[in-house]
Structure 1
């Protein structure tokens, strides 16, 4: 009886082993099929988006669909600076409702006076974008006095321009507060309305130094690198949750001749506020996702890896 029991047990174990092997083969096959499908989909999407990008890059601006800015409420941080002034002018000439945010009230009034001489109405708010409560308070005022914001342009920025050990501690903190943390407060203030409307546009003015560490820019480059990460992650979140109506544009220009980079000795001529602002407006109208200035930089910079 014992021998018979052992024999039956041995047969059962072998059957179990056979079933285990069959089960393992099935599971492995299903996993392989799933991975193959995911890879196939990924390759197809890579091919599709690469082709789309190539076609759009080679298509002249005048042949691409451009949205109108007429009547759009646009909040522009750093509106009294060099690029900010030019952006405000071009937005106003496009008949947008321009809302300037800047901590420099005197400079902002000058911008407003110049635009009003051309017959444009501009709304100005003295805002410290590093102060979360101040941002939220003025965001509510804009909604009450101007209307729900359609386009947010995070343009405010500062730079110290010293080597690492020569940067004062307070300037490191301030650079992070202005260049990146403020983006969180402004987007949090205006994104909920865009989600409710199902449309909107967020523009992040970053820098090529956020893609390539630069001499005397350990603070500035780090913050601009952070803006790229923040922007791309938010873009992914919005698309994942189906918010296709909200466009996002990140702009990474070379050094701009606004006085911020005085003392720098770049390898190429600095960009002018006029050409940068013109490119940003074009990117907004065409719902471009990713812009570098000069354009060829986005193809060359990956080689640093």
Structure 2
């Protein structure tokens, strides 16, 4: 009996050794391929004929995505809760010869999303092949100054709307075996930022949603060709937030919605899973996550020029005190 147990033990160890060897070979090959793709990016896919639904399409980044994707031959579906802004985007797309549909919808409300999807089918809008969840709100204030309505609205718009739209369009993508889901997160979904606690929390949630859903679909036995892309901009001039004024503005400065839209479309066409704007921010994040936490904080404080900002704040407070006295 002991001899048989010993034989089985040897077989298991031998099998484990083979599995580990195979894993090492796969890892080595994956690293080589990833390094090669850093030098020679994969070719960009054609987007002509794609039906792209964009939430928050009435202004800023959503508007630019609609215009630029339309120029590439995409059919555009604009969703926004502002009827005038949505019509303005639709006029711009139509003026350039694009095919566009528009619907006024509050994406934070599940029933409105479902009703709008039914209306789209009723009027003959083509099946959505690409979903871009762009709608977001941001409240900039200290944590203890938040009221519950601000927090609820932040999560309803920034997080739950992603659930409701994906719920509406993912089943058809799975049925067809193809599709692309894009979420506009933020570098605030990578790092916590003072006075943006609710916003950062919501963007971290978007990151978790996209990573988990990507993994779930990847393991689906049907093996659908559905891509997931999460975008992490640093700062886009959309009016949501003030320019944080970091050091090295050529890296950490404000970018226009036009530039950000071009970068996002590049990431979509290359089927990137994650993409930061500017691109180098992921490299900085990788370094920051290796070093000790206090070192990471020192780097972040240096980039944010915290000492200078504190001096300016103290000077301003001193002037206000003089005025009061």
Cα 1:55/1:227, change in 2 over 3 Å: same
Unaligned runs of 5+ in 1: 1-18
Cα distance in 2 for residues equivalent to 1:51 and 1:292: 22
User: 3-state SS of the aligned residue for 2:229?
Assistant: strand
User: 3-state SS of the aligned residue for 1:51?
Assistant: helix
User: 3-state SS of the aligned residue for 1:90?
Assistant: helix
CA RMSD across the alignment: 1.9
Cα 1:43/1:162, change in 2 over 3 Å: farther
TM-score, normalised relative to structure 2: 0.81
1:205 corresponds to: 184
Cα 1:97/1:177, change in 2 over 3 Å: same
2:269 corresponds to: 285
Q: Deviations over 1:232-260 (max 9, x none)?
A: 11111111114341111111111211111
Cα distance in 1 for residues equivalent to 2:24 and 2:170: 32
Whether 1:55 aligns to 2:36 is yes
User: Is the CA contact 1:143–1:149 (under 8 Å) kept in the aligned structure 2?
Assistant: no
User: Is the CA contact 1:283–1:291 (under 8 Å) kept in the aligned structure 2?
Assistant: yes
Cα distance in 2 for residues equivalent to 1:205 and 1:257: 14
Cα distance in 2 for residues equivalent to 1:38 and 1:225: 35
Bigger mean CA deviation after superposition, 66-75 or 84-93: 66-75
Bigger mean CA deviation after superposition, 168-177 or 264-273: 264-273
TM-score, normalised relative to structure 1: 0.86
Quote the offset at 1:303 in angstroms. 3.0
Matches within 5 A, 1:27-38: 28-38=9-19
Whether 1:234 aligns to 2:213 is yes
Q: Deviations over 1:111-137 (max 9, x none)?
A: 112222222232111111110011111
Cα 1:192/1:160, change in 2 over 3 Å: same
Aligned residues: 283
User: 3-state SS of the aligned residue for 2:107?
Assistant: coil
Bigger mean CA deviation after superposition, 216-225 or 258-267: 258-267
Bigger mean CA deviation after superposition, 230-239 or 135-144: 135-144
Q: Deviations over 1:263-286 (max 9, x none)?
A: 634442122211111011112222
Matches within 5 A, 1:103-252: 103-144=81-122, 145-242=124-221, 243-252=223-232
1:101 corresponds to: 79
User: Is the CA contact 2:174–2:224 (under 8 Å) kept in the aligned structure 1?
Assistant: no
Unaligned runs of 5+ in 2: 290-325
Cα distance in 2 for residues equivalent to 1:246 and 1:125: 25
Cα distance in 1 for residues equivalent to 2:281 and 2:4: 52
Matches within 5 A, 1:256-271: 256-262=236-242, 264-267=244-247, 268-271=252-255
User: Is the CA contact 2:53–2:130 (under 8 Å) kept in the aligned structure 1?
Assistant: yes
2:256 corresponds to: 272
